[in-house]
Structure formats: structure tokens, C-alpha cells
Amino acid sequence: MAADSSAANYAFYLGATNDNIDVIRRLPAAAACGVKVFMGASTGNMLVDKREVLDQIFRDAPGLVATHCESSPIINDNLATAQKKWGDQIPITEHPVIRSREACLVSSQLAIELAKQHDTRLHILHVSTAEEADLFEPGPVTGKQITGEACIHYLHFDDSDYAALGNLIKCNPAVKSPADREALTSAVADGRLNIIATDHAPHTLEEKQSDNYLVAPSGMPLVQQALSAALELVCSGKLSLAQVVSASAHNVALRFALKDRGFIREGYWADLVIARQGEPQLLAPEDILYHCGWTPFKTRPFHWRIETTLVSGQIAWHERQLNNSCRGQRLEFDS
């Protein structure tokens, strides 16, 4: 499906469940970017909540293990407390209380414990708290067995934004405090978190505008504005341009062992972006290219605009136009 339709380069995780350890063991290490493990509440049957299964995955998975770290028992207890207080009218401001910092920290600590026990290549996805950021060692990504990433929305939003944006910034793990936002940005700067990523989930605006906390889905569209939003952190002096380039390109390629990508080097694939800095501007409606038609960054002015994007040497975006004939390639991994 991706080969037929994707304008971007692509690779896929193999999703872990409580009962597919044999499939994980048979996975060729170079066939996927890693094994994805939801160690907290998710959709469908993707939650892996059995300690013996986690042990087997961390011990036997080929290549990298990537984890979504939240403790379901803690979340369920917090949700029960909220329902007792609020009934069916839980306010969105309770989201970071329900999906709490404790739920994130306990799960991330368990993942790191298992990785150290089994010498696993572990990457913890979408770290959302200052306490979790402190679990990682500062410095370059090269040589690290355990790494983590900050998502772009955790570097821009905090719980003071729920009043204006409501469910539009509802995501898992939850957007938390201003102190967490600043701590995560500092962790990117000193290399405790080596990657800036997204957690793209393009739910429709109608779905997100539900007034029922339990019905409104978690997640937001993030890919299109991710680089512009990261470059805003350069404008504000919180990160250097070199740090943004490393966290969004170089370190991704190094951590996931991407073959011939992530750097401007002779013989490498030309995956390039031309961005131009100017006066800050709000996004116009026609600038939002998601099929879902909205972005949480609608009210945030950006200094940087993406002028041209090349994907594997093909022009994918130029002069505000998509090239519908551009097709990405399946990413390859060095063994």
C-alpha cells in the first residue's frame, strides 16, 4: 500500500501483543524499523501488560524495541477517581491527571530495567515528563543502548493550553506542565533526548470536538508543521539550528541504523528540505494540507516556511504545490 501511494519514504514497526512472541522472534532484523510495544493502554489488542511477555520481547526481539510507556493500572485508577467526581462530564483539564506523570514514569522505569537486564536496544517514544527525561544519559546518540525522544507538541504546548485548545491537544501521553515543557526542551539540548519526533494521529475535527471526554479520541495531526515548529525553538533561543538538524535527521538515521540517509553526503539519498526564515505568519486555511483539515498550531505564528522538499531525489513539494507523482522508497537498515 505504501509503495503505491506514499509520497514519503516509509518503514513500519512490527506491533507486539501478548500472544505474538513467535512472530517477533521470526522477524528479520532488517525488515522493520523495530518492534513497537504499547506498555500502556492503547486500542485493539496492542496492549502488552504481562510481565512474562515483556521479558520475552525484550530478550528475544531482533533489532530495536520502541515503547509507549504508560501504566494502565495507574491510569485506570485515576480514571475511576475522575468518574466518581465528574461522572460523564470529565473536563479535558483532567487528562494529565488521569494519564499522570506517575503512570509515565513507572512504565519508563520498567522498560529501562528490562532493557538493562536483557541488553536490549531500547527507544522510548514520546517522553512527556521532566522525571522521565532524567532517566537518560546526556550526550551524542552514538553508542547508546537506551534512548528517548521528545515529540514536537510537548515542546510547544502545556496544560495551560487546554483552556483554549481543549481536545485538540488531547493525546497520549498527555501534555503536561510548563515545567515539563521546558525540561524536555533542555533534555533535547543536552542530548538526554536525542530525537524530536511526532506522534501523528489525524482524527477529524468532528471527532475531536466531542464534549464527552471518554469519546473524544487522543492524538493530533503533526507531521506537516513539525519542522517549522522545531525551528521556532531556534528563533526563541532554546535550541540551536545544529541541535534541531541533529534531533530531526542525523540522530534518527543513527539510532534506527538507516542505510544511506539522514546526512548530506555523497552517495546518500537526497532527502532534503529548503526552509526560509521571515516575518512570523499564521497558517492560512489553504496552508493546512491534512485531509482532516485542522492543526493544533493554527494560532501559532511561524517564522519558518518550507519552500521545497526532496524525497529520495524527487521534488515532493515546491512553490506551495505537492508533486502527486512523487513516490517514497521503503527504508533500508544496516544490520
Model confidence over 251-277: pLDDT tens digits? Answer: 999 999 999 999 999 999 999 999 999
Cα–Cα distance, 134 to 28 (Å, whole number): 33
CATH of domain 2-322: 3.20.20.140
Q: Sorting pLDDT into bands at 50, 70 and 90, what band is 29?
A: confident
**Cell numbers describing residue 58:** 525484550
Q: Sorting pLDDT into bands at 50, 70 and 90, what band is 40?
A: confident
Q: What percent of the chain has pLDDT over 70?
A: 99
What's residue 43's pLDDT?
59
Cα–Cα distance, 292 to 201 (Å, whole number): 10
What's residue 335's pLDDT?
64
Rounded (5°) CA angle 271-127-137: 85
Query: 117: buried, middle or exposed (CB in 10 Å: 19+, 13-18, 0-12)?
Result: exposed
Average pLDDT over residues 15-24: 96
Contact (CB, 8 A) for 104 and 132: yes
pLDDT at 239 over 90: yes
Cα–Cα distance, 266 to 85 (Å, whole number): 61
CB atoms within 10 A of CB 313: 11
pTM, full prediction: 0.96
Is 161 part of the annotated catalytic residue set? no
pLDDT at 312 over 70: yes
pLDDT at 327 over 70: yes
Average pLDDT over residues 85-99: 97
Which of 262-270's residues contact partners 24+ apart within 8 Å by CB, and which partners? 269/9, 269/312, 269/313, 269/329, 270/310, 270/312, 270/313
pLDDT at 45 over 80: no
Q: What percent of the chain has pLDDT over 90?
A: 95
Cα–Cα distance, 243 to 41 (Å, whole number): 32
Q: Sorting pLDDT into bands at 50, 70 and 90, what band is 296?
A: very high
What's residue 46's pLDDT?
83
| Active-site choice (199, 211, 271, 287) | 199
Average pLDDT over residues 22-33: 94
**Amino acid identity for residue 109 in this structure:** Q
What's residue 215's pLDDT?
95
What's residue 266's pLDDT?
97
CB atoms within 10 A of CB 106: 17
Residues 165-184: pLDDT tens digits?
A: 999 999 999 999 999 999 99
> What is the separation of C-alpha 204 from the centre of its chain, rounded to a whole number of angstroms?
19
